[in-house]
Structure 1
Amino acid sequence: MSISKGSKVSWNTSQGKTHGKAVEKKTKDFTFDGQDFKPTDDDPYWIVESEKTGAKAAHKESTLEGS
């Protein structure tokens, strides 16, 4: 699946599936919300925004689904 900025995506959380949009692709090491992330070329991270709460989180591209 190809994700681009603004794509509608979904991901699993402990409360069930959450829907939102892809905000920013990260391909270099970064810190988000106090956590360090190390993306790879094969599995970059995306900053995603929940459509329900507006909260942002970092998720590996491989854990996101198009919705």
Structure 2
Amino acid sequence: MKTRIQELRKKNKMSQEELALSVGVTRQTITSLECEKYTASLTLAYKISKLFGLSIEEVFDFSEVEEL
């Protein structure tokens, strides 16, 4: 899943480690999210979005997710 995490993190002058600590995950999780190797849980997506003051849809791109 595509995200704007790296863009938003850099815009806010945050390291991967700082973002990880802020949302309660490891730096490796943030790396995996940014490289699109991992999809965030709803809870993690919520925490990241709230940290940047955005909605989940503004951070995560759901256009490639299959609809039911």
TM exceeding 0.5: no
TM range, smaller chain: under 0.3
**Larger helix percent:** 2
Larger RCO: 1 or 2 (CA < 8 Å, sep 6+)? 2
Name the TM-score, length of structure 2 as normaliser.
0.25
Name the TM-score, length of structure 1 as normaliser.
0.26
**Larger strand percent:** 1
